[in-house]
Amino acid sequence: MRTSKLIRFIIISVVIGSAFYILLFMLAYRGSLEVFIDSFRGGNGLFIIASFAARVAVLTIHGLAWWVLMRVFKKLSLGKVLKVTYTSVFTEFLIPLGGITEIVKVALVTRLKLLNTADTLASLFAHRIVLSLSILTTTLLALIIINAPLILYVVLLAPATLLTLSNIIGFVIPSSKRIELFIDKIIARFGFNISGFSTKYSSSMRSLSSNPTSLILSFIVEFLERFINAVFGYFIALSIGIKISLLKSLLAFDSLYVIMWLLPLATPGGLGIYETIQTTLLSFLGIEINQAATASIISRLIYLSVGYGLFALSLTSLGIGFKSLIKSISRSSIEE
Per-domain boundaries in the chain = 48-335
Which residues in 227-244 are b (16+ Cβ under 10 Å) and which e?
Answer: bbbbbbbbbbbbbbebeb
Cβ-contact 252, 226 below 8 angstroms: no
What average pLDDT score do residues 311-320 get? 91
Q: Is pLDDT above 80 for 76?
A: yes
Task: Tell me whether residue 316 is exposed, middle or buried, using C-beta atoms within 10 angstroms of its C-beta: 0 to 12, 13 to 18, 19 or more.
Answer: exposed
Angle between the 78-94 and 100-111 helix axes, to the nearest 10 degrees? 140
> At 334, is the pLDDT very low, low, confident or very high (cuts 50, 70, 90)?
very low
pLDDT over 90, % of the chain: 54
> At 91, is the pLDDT very low, low, confident or very high (cuts 50, 70, 90)?
confident
pLDDT in tens, 218-269: 999 999 999 999 999 999 999 988 889 999 999 999 998 888 877 765 566 6
Q: pTM of the predicted model, to two decimals?
A: 0.87
Q: Is pLDDT above 60 for 1?
A: no
pLDDT in tens, 158-197: 999 999 999 999 999 999 888 878 777 776 666 666 778 8
Which residues in 254-279 are b (16+ Cβ under 10 Å) and which e?
Answer: bbbbbbebeeebbbbbbbbbbbbbbb
CA distance 88 to 39: 33
Residue 204: the pLDDT is 95
